[in-house]
Amino acid sequence: MDRIYFDNAATTPLDPLVLESMMPYLTEKFGNPSSIYSYGRETRMAIENARKSVAKILNARPAEIFFTSGGTESSNTAINAAVYDLSCKRIITSPLEHHATLHCAEYINKIGIVEISYVKILSNGHIDITDLERLLEESKEKCLVTLMHANNEIGNITDIEAVGNLCKKYNAIFHSDTVQTVGHYNFDLRKLPVHFITGASHKFHGPKGVGILYINENIKIHPFINGGSQERNMRAGTENLYGIVGFAKALELATANHETDREYISNIKSYMQKKLRGNIANVYFNGDYDGKSLYTVLSVAFPKTEKSEMLLFNLDINNICASGGSACSSGADAGSHVIRAISNDLNQITVRFSFSKYNTKEEVDLVVEKLKGMI
């Protein structure tokens, strides 16, 4: 059987049109963008054109878009800047955040610079917005609120406009990890009350190793990485030229085909839900899967049996790529911190299936048929 790839929340295959846009900068257009001669000037122009393209799509100003190595660096930059440059003494976050956020916040807390508060989680996996307001209202210190737009494991989507308005009300800084939604949802950063958002192109058929950090023009911060004057003195290091060009092209394609791709992928997700319900007893879906949820992610809890304890291993043997929660921790025995936060049922095995425009219903049929024998 050919490989079936159902782990698109971890990374997506590179779109051939994106590769095509990158090729000139992988071959003949190799000049260092900091050089003053023509080879350097043409690559500098490519980066600035990419910045303008990304800014236009997100309705931001080009000066608010900074290219980074990916979502982890972007989130670390934003969190550190909020603490060290914007005088935040308390971080309000949730136990469901990506480790790029949690580990960064926990480290700053451990060295005694900030306190951390965790917002309560509702039974469906959403944050308790009332509890968030309580935490903001009770805090005597300036707060950084860092809450992701969409959870990478269970798919729940947070109303970041509502969160942003609360932050505005209580004079808090707001950072949102939008890695799972940039390229999948439309953003209007002129209207959205947020100080920082992040993106990574490999989540929407762009290259790995390149991301963005949006920094609202009304705040001033110092660089997280020091060295050269790249990215307008904000992010030192020779730019990932072909990655940046690929990011802009991938975002352009994702935006142009957004409605068509969203409808198609949503149908794949819905079809798999129905097939699993119809073929496997006692199957359960984590999070708000039929409500405010990513159309690309389906988190499935299977009953724990002698067979199913080896489920991920058996899927791999059968050339089916899926994840046991977050792919960033897929090699660890600790399991998913997200699933632990929303469920204490030890008799379930969770698998995250995540889809792209390249998946088909025929693939779903094959996977469900294999799963029947594995459970």
pLDDT digits 0-9 by tens, 93-129: 999 999 999 999 999 999 999 999 999 999 999 999 9
The verdict on whether 328 is a catalytic residue reads yes
Sign, CA torsion 278/354/4/357: positive
Asked whether the predicted pLDDT for residue 205 surpasses 50, the reply is: yes
Per residue in 311-328, pLDDT (tens digit) is 999 999 999 999 986 444
Burial 309-338 (b: 16+ CB within 10 A, else e): eebbebbeebebbbbbbbbebeeeeeebbb
Of all residues in the chain, the percent with pLDDT exceeding 70 is 97
Catalytic residue among 104, 167, 321, 328: 328
Q: How confident is the model at residue 214 (pLDDT cuts 50, 70, 90)?
A: very high
Which carries the bigger pLDDT value, residue 35 or residue 329? 35
Distance CA 179, CA 13 (A): 16
Cβ pair 9, 323 in contact under 8 A? yes
pLDDT of residue 325: 60
Q: Where are the domains of the chain?
A: 4-12+258-374, 16-256
CATH topology (fold) of 16-256: Aspartate Aminotransferase; domain 2 (3.40.640)
Beta strands in the chain (DSSP E): 4-5, 65-68, 90-93, 115-118, 143-146, 173-176, 196-200, 211-215, 284-285, 297-303, 320-321, 348-354
pLDDT band for 49, please (50, 70, 90 cuts).
very high
Q: What is the pLDDT of residues 260-303, one digit of tens each?
A: 999 999 999 999 999 999 999 999 999 999 999 999 999 999 98
Tell which residue, 331, 360, 337, 281, has the closest CA to residue 154: 337
Give pLDDT, residue 327.
45
What dotted CATH number matches 4-12+258-374? Answer: 3.90.1150.10
pLDDT of 333 > 60? The answer is no
What's the pLDDT tens digit per position in 50-70? Answer: 999 999 999 999 999 999 999
pLDDT at 329 over 50: no
Residue-by-residue DSSP string for 158-209? --HHHHHHHHHHTT-EEEE--TTTBTTB---TTTS--SEEEEEGGGTTS-SS
